[in-house]
């Protein structure tokens, strides 16, 4: 599948991945020491929900458009996106991250598409906490770690344009986690069938790397053709994060009225 952010801004998979992201950032902010976030596939940052790309797919209507914020007790995601929704736009991951950073924290945002990279550079031109890199995110995963801060998050949200994307993602995750054993990693994947999730999970399970968590949120049963949901894998998720994410995901299913949806959470490898 082709997953350029502009065409899918605010859809149901974005709601889940950004909920997970906001919860991770809140955990990092709970400690005083500075941290860095490496956003490997950052997109252009901010998306007009009335733009031709978003209008072409209309996916926001079945995602953020049906989210009843009154039914969310978990507030991190709501606080991140509602100011932008009020203006008819949806924030991508670099906006969500930058808005939550303190003055001592950093964001390194990577984007390979030249137009999107230029837009991202313009967006953060006056923010000294943010560096924008026009480069391949998978290459940056190894080049930019371990960081000087020694703590932080690598957020990986690839487009899944290539048939071997699952293998590429798993391979880079494994290499990066071995290079930075104490780093926190979160990687997203789409769900039309079970193949991508199974391939990633199987590759990670053979590594011996501990503390690998998998979470899938489905709005409908898998049919093999439709984008019915998405999943994420986390390496070194903070203690208690699995339970926190499960609560938030259960709230999302109710708040988006996905009667046939479900949330699956499992450990690929056990915590150390």
How many Å apart are CA 218 and CA 16, to the nearest integer? 10
CA–CA distances in Å: residue 265 to residues 55, 160, 217, 241: 33, 22, 9, 11
Max CA separation in the chain (angstroms): 47
How many Å apart are CA 194 and CA 217, to the nearest integer? 13
| Digit-coded pLDDT (tens) for 197-249 | 999 999 999 999 999 999 999 999 999 999 999 999 999 999 999 999 999 99
Q: CATH code at 108?
A: 3.40.50.150
Low-confidence ranges of the chain (pLDDT < 70): 1-5, 54-55
Please report the pLDDT score of residue 1 as a whole number.
43
Count of domains observed in the chain:
1
The edge-to-edge listing of strands for the beta sheet with 184-191 is 130-133, 106-110, 36-39, 152-156, 184-191, 229-235, 212-218, 262-269
Beta strand 89-91 with 36-39 is: unpaired
Active site residues: 157
| Digit-coded pLDDT (tens) for 236-266 | 999 999 999 999 999 999 999 999 999 999 9
> DSSP letter string over 100-136?
H--TT-EEEEE--SHHHHHHHHHHTTT-TTEEEE-S-
How many Å apart are CA 30 and CA 197, to the nearest integer? 31
Structural domain boundaries enclosing 52: 5-269
Query: Rounded to 5 degrees, what are φ and ψ at 208?
Result: 85, 0
């Amino acid at each position: 599948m082709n997953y350029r952010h502009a065409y899918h801004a605010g859809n149901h998979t974005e709601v889940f991945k950004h909920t997970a992201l906001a919860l991770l950032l809140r955990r990092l902010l709970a400690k005083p020491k500075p941290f860095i976030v490496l956003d490997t596939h950052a997109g252009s940052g901010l998306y007009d929900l009335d733009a031709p790309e978003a209008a072409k797919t209309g996916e926001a209507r079945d995602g953020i458009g049906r989210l009843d914020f009154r039914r969310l007790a978990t507030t991190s995601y709501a606080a991140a996106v509602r100011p932008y929704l009020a203006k008819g736009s949806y924030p991508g991951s670099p906006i969500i991250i930058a808005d939550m950073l303190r003055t001592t924290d950093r964001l390194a945002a990577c984007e390979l598409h030249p137009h999107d990279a230029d837009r991202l550079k313009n967006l953060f031109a006056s923010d000294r906490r943010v560096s924008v890199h026009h480069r391949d995110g998978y290459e940056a995963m190894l080049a930019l770690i371990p960081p000087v801060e020694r703590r932080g998050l690598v957020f990986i949200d690839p487009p899944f344009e290539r048939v071997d994307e699952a293998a590429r993602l798993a391979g880079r995750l494994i290499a990066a986690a071995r290079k930075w054993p104490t780093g926190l990693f979160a990687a997203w994947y789409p769900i039309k069938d079970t193949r991508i999730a199974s391939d990633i999970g199987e590759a990670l399970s053979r590594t011996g790397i501990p503390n690998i968590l998998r979470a899938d949120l489905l709005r409908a049963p898998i049919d093999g053709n439709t984008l019915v949901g998405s999943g994420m894998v986390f390496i070194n998720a903070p203690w208690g994060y699995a339970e926190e994410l499960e609560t938030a995901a259960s709230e999302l299913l109710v708040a988006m009225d996905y009667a046939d949806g479900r949330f699956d959470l499992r450990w690929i490898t056990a915590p150390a």
